[in-house]
Structure 1
Amino acid sequence: MRCTEIAYKERKRNMEIKQDTVVRPLPSEELIKNHENSWRLSLPESFLEFIKENNGVEVEGATFDCNNRSYVLERFLCILEAIKNHPKGIYDIDVVFSQIGERLTDNEDLLGAEVLPIASVFAGDFVCLDFRIDKNNPSVCIWSHEESGEFEPVTYNVADNFTQFLKTL
């Protein structure tokens, strides 16, 4: 489903990245490659650049409109090596993916990921990279936790790529 573009150009952008909330240690190239291999996909360069500096960061004033609703982005998810021992482990992409993975795809035989959560929004939905149409250039969608069921995901396209998504905030 396609999002309605509600006054993106007219809206004042005021997303604030709270630098003191960056989750450390920052992910290494090796850790990222291991995750990409596990997910069976390659993360887009724009997202890699972002997460290498802003791993799991909280944000303020990050809102966007989609599907006739306004969403408030709370934080980006992180990539961690030692999830269990880390106080922010619940915000790890793998942790979130393992909790909702069967609700992110309609393919029961899928190995890896095709819709990958990257940020949490207020009230339980997630912003995701959507690799279903183009494995090399994923779009960004909102995944609806209330509408999605097991192997019945409901997503709404927000932006054609991660760079464009950041510009909407």
Structure 2
Amino acid sequence: MATSFPSPEELKGTVLGTLLYVGVYAGILIPFQSFSKFYLFAQKKKEAKTKAAKDGESFQKKPGSGSFFLATKYYNSQDMLALCGDRSVGNYLEQSLVFLPLYWLHALFVENGASESLMIASIYSISRGIYPPLFWFAFGTSYTPLIGISTGPGYIITFYLLYQVAAKFAFA
């Protein structure tokens, strides 16, 4: 075990990597998820108006039509865009519970861990940031192994961090 705690300068990469990680979540995935729901709602509303006009009816909002928005917004697996937004955020959150603690433990306790932090977080965050287009293409073409381009690096990094931290304490 190290005799001194890493200095703030040594942890700079770790802090920047954490900010990058959170930035992908807050700046890319959450806005994409929201966009997908509002876009689909607008499209469905437009389709309903077009159908009403085609049938010679006037489009009128009906009582309780707010549930139409709720059905679009909350996990609508019938709409690929909504599903893609939900799974992008869901996958990111699911994996963050494993990644972030290991990331910080590695930075704090493994020799050279802090100096590797920014590179680790960059690879991890960028691979997760490309999840939405890969998910869209993979499930749109039924070629689901393609999603591994996004998730694979994350799993490799997670196992690397786990091994490094466990080795530091188990074999020391």
Which of structures 1 and 2 has the bigger CA Rg? 2
Higher strand share: 1
Report which of the two has the higher share of helix: 2
Q: Which TM class, normalised by the smaller chain length? A: under 0.3
Higher relative contact order (CA 8 A, sep 6+): 2
